[in-house]
Amino acid sequence: MVNDYLILGAILLLLLAAILVYFRVANRYNIIDRPNERSSHKKITLRGGGVIFFFGVVLYMLFYGVHYPLFFTGLALIAFISFLDDIVKLKSRYRILIHFAAMLLMFYDCGFYGLPWFYTLIALVISTGIINAYNFMDGINGITGGYSLVVVGSLWFINNCRFSFIDNNLLYVVALSLLVFNIFNFRPRARCFAGDVGSVSIAFISLFILGKLIVETGDFSYLIVLLIYGVDTVLTIVHRLMLRENIFRAHRKHMYQIMSNELHIPHTTVSLIYMTAQTLITAGYLLLPIQPLTYFLATSILTGTIYIIFISRNYHLHAG
């Protein structure tokens, strides 16, 4: 047990050193985020700090062994193309091809290929949506790192209190990488942003862990650990389609963006609201004696209704 703590302590120190080294590299090569029409920040900030999530998985393999080689290969591919996109914008078709290749590799370590072929197709569609949702939602300080901590914490609880489906050490190392990132991002004036490399990488990691859980249980209702992101993303897309907008163009119409930009709620407060809402929903799912699918549908309707009421009352502030 003491040895386990020493290893995790060493990993934590290495992650801290890695992100500080990255800051020097980002400063040297001008890897920065300039505010634009989609941004909820006003100052130039270092971009790509979320590369620490990839470093975390590298350290996991170095200390604990290569347990999920195809997952790691997929993560390396998707992190590389996303980091490249942070530096020089790539054409979407190149990103999509790499994303698909990475997900197909990851599905093998999840166990999807032992299921009927259409499960892989469904998983590809859902995973693409979740990765894009993570990318869309990465817009204010603390939201990506904080929300992902709630997701990983929920999966840790399931792994330890319901049934074991994945190596606990992977969950611990991913949580440590999120904690290190949050030190520099979950604050009123962020030292760095996750960038595409961060939001896409942590989405990919979360999808792998969640995918293993779903394959072993056959229960898709575990997607509830991502419900808040899902509701905000899907309903924002529907709203933009109703407005006849190009949904692929930058915008500031997400609920969290209106909360921070138009209602002037501090970024960290908005992030805490999202974290708390997801925590309560997941806790209810895991602890209340309600049929999982019924609970999933009920909470989806509830959170969707709250979103619609909020947008109905506050969207005029943005439109005006």
Kindly write down the DSSP assignment for every residue of 108-157, as one continuous string. Answer: HHHTGGGS-HHHHHHHHHHHHHHHHHHHHH--STTHHHHHHHHHHHHHHH
pLDDT of 33: 77
Per-residue pLDDT, averaged over 183-207, amounts to: 96
Q: Give which of 13, 31, 37 is closest to 176, Cα–Cα.
A: 13
Which of 133-137, 244-248, 290-294 is the least confident region? Answer: 244-248
pLDDT of 127: 94
The pLDDT-based confidence of 42 (bands split at 50, 70, 90) is: low
Q: What is the pTM of this model?
A: 0.95
Which amino acid, 40?
S
Enter the tokens of residue 110: 């999840």
Give the structural domain span for 168: 2-319
Q: How does pLDDT run across 56-111, given as a tens digit for each residue?
A: 999 999 999 999 999 999 999 999 999 999 998 888 888 999 999 999 999 999 99
Please give the Cα distance from 303 to 308 (Å, whole number).
9
Q: Give which of 111, 84, 97 is closest to 29, Cα–Cα.
A: 84
Please give the Cα distance from 264 to 181 (Å, whole number).
24
pLDDT of 37: 55
What average pLDDT is seen over the chain?
93
Is 110:215 a contact under the CB 8 Å cutoff?
A: yes
Does the pLDDT of residue 36 top 60, yes or no?
no
Which of 38-42, 148-152, 240-244 is the least confident region? Answer: 38-42
Alpha helices, DSSP H only, in the chain?
A: 2-28, 51-64, 69-87, 92-110, 117-137, 143-161, 168-185, 195-217, 227-242, 255-261, 267-287, 292-319
| Number of domain units in the chain | 1
Does the pLDDT of residue 144 top 90, yes or no?
yes
Does the pLDDT of residue 251 top 90, yes or no?
no
Query: With b meaning 16 or more CB within 10 Å and e meaning fewer, what string describes 26-50?
Result: beeeebbbeeeeebbbeeebbbbbb
Please give the Cα distance from 58 to 12 (Å, whole number).
13
Please give the Cα distance from 206 to 75 (Å, whole number).
11
Per-residue pLDDT, averaged over 27-33, amounts to: 87
Per-residue pLDDT, averaged over 261-282, amounts to: 97
The pLDDT-based confidence of 298 (bands split at 50, 70, 90) is: very high
The pLDDT-based confidence of 318 (bands split at 50, 70, 90) is: confident
Enter the tokens of residue 188: 């009123």
Is 194:266 a contact under the CB 8 Å cutoff?
A: no
Higher pLDDT, 149 or 319: 149
Per-residue pLDDT, averaged over 158-173, amounts to: 96
Does the pLDDT of residue 1 top 80, yes or no?
no
Please give the Cα distance from 242 to 246 (Å, whole number).
11
Per-residue pLDDT, averaged over 201-212, amounts to: 97
Per-residue pLDDT, averaged over 206-228, amounts to: 96
Q: Give which of 7, 47, 10, 56 is closest to 176, Cα–Cα.
A: 56
Per-residue pLDDT, averaged over 18-27, amounts to: 96
Strand partners, 46: 32, 192
First to last CA, the chain: 59
Per-residue pLDDT, averaged over 163-172, amounts to: 96
Cβ neighbours of 194 (radius 10 Å): 29
CA atoms within 13 A of residue 302's CA, in its CB half-sphere? 13
